Amino acid sequence: MPANDEVVLSLRDLSKKFGSGCDYCRGTDAELQKNMCPECHTVYAVRNASLDLYKGEILGIVGESGSGKSTLMKTLYFDQEATGGEYILPGDASIEGNACDVSSQKKRQIRNEQLGMVYQNPLQGLKMDFSSVTNIAEKLIASGNRNVGQMTDRADHFLEKVNIALSRKYEAPKNFSGGMQQRVQIAKALSNYPPILLLDEVTTGLDLSVQADVLELIKEIQRDMGVSMIVVSHDLAIIRMLCDRTIVMLDGRVIEHGITDQILEDPQHKYTQQLVYSIL
């Protein structure tokens, strides 16, 4: 349990499926092929996932490709609609109950004010032909800020925070390296001071030295701003470095969770044991 016991995000039995399902896979005793129905080929990407994120903590989600971790993140950011379960944001008094049930307009508001998202592929999070300042302004405008001076000041502040030289703030991210693009994404995600930051495989494909810079930046942001974070990674070394607690996913299910050191040093589930021992 984190030192701060204030919950900022809570999921209960959240699910996401691709397909309509059939009588077979809707049955309580249905056996899937990994996470796919052998009869109708519906994919149960996330199955009854439950978790709590506490104020100021970094929660890791780890699992193999196809385990459901990235789909879960997209569902949290409303890039995809959940097909079942509850998504609670206790810090937003304007949401009564399940955030999955609010209007599309309210979901956009939550994205713009409560959440920041950093995608594995910067193409999903940035307009590559627009300047870094314009990318950040887009996020600010979406939440109702129309003051050009304030937007420019905010962009300068966060670009400096992620170590992007202000002499390059009017350049398009397409001219930047992969590591710089990720840092611009982080600046954009933080520009509205969201209480929750979602990071999906943000170091994949980066050189090791660049990875180290991005990871150190994430730790600095968490330390200085107290942002709660969910970090998805297949790399257990990154999870160990960043995360207070960790959730392990397999075939769409959460199969193990606990304090990160405990998960990595004394894994209980057979799959987690294989995952940990494979890097030893």
Residues paired with 199 in a beta bridge: 118, 231
Mean pLDDT of 136-140: 92
The mean pLDDT of 65-86, rounded to a whole number, is 95
Of 7 and 5, the structure prediction assigns the larger pLDDT to 7
Tell me which of 28-32, 79-83, 171-175, 255-259 is least confident: 28-32
Query: Per-residue confidence at 83, pLDDT binned at 50, 70, 90?
Result: very high
Give per-residue pLDDT as tens, 88-103: 999 887 888 899 999 9
Contact 78, 110 (CB under 8 A): yes
Mean pLDDT of 50-66: 95
Distances (CA, A) of 240 to 53, 75, 197, 278: 17, 25, 18, 15
Does residue 179 sit within a domain?
yes
C-alpha to C-alpha distance for 195 and 111, rounded to whole angstroms: 11
pLDDT at residue 280 in the model:
55
User: Region 214-234: what's the mean pLDDT?
Assistant: 93
pLDDT band at 205 (very low <50, low <70, confident <90, very high): confident
Whether residue 145 is predicted with pLDDT greater than 80 in this model: the reply is no
Q: Please report the pLDDT score of residue 3 as a whole number.
A: 55
- Given a cut of 60, is residue 142 above it in pLDDT? yes
Whether residue 201 is contained in a domain is answered as no
* Count of domains observed in the chain: 1
- % of the chain exceeding 70 in pLDDT: 98
For residues 180-196, average pLDDT: 94
d(CA 214, CA 216): 5
CA distances from 205 to 120, 130, 177, 275 (A): 9, 23, 11, 20
Is residue 255 situated within a structural domain?
no
| pLDDT band of 73, cuts 50, 70, 90 | very high
Domain contains 225:
no
Range of the domain at 141: 122-193
pLDDT at 256 over 80: yes
Which pLDDT score, from 0 to 100, does residue 96 have? 83
The answer to the question of residue 53 being in a domain is no
| The pLDDT value given to residue 194 | 93
Looking at residue 26, its pLDDT comes to 87
> Do the beta carbons of residue 107 and residue 77 sit within 8 Å?
no
Question: What's the pLDDT at 35?
Answer: 93
Alpha-carbon distance values, 129 to 22, 135, 277 (Å)? 44, 10, 44
Note whether residue 167 is domain-resident: yes
- pLDDT score, position 95: 85
Residues near 244 by beta carbon (within 8 Å), at least 6 away in sequence: 2, 57, 58, 59, 259, 260
pTM: 0.93
Average predicted confidence (pLDDT) for the chain: 92
Reply yes or no on whether the pLDDT at 132 is more than 80. yes
Residue 52 forms part of a structural domain = no
Distance, CA of 85 to chain centre:
18
Residue 258 within a domain: no
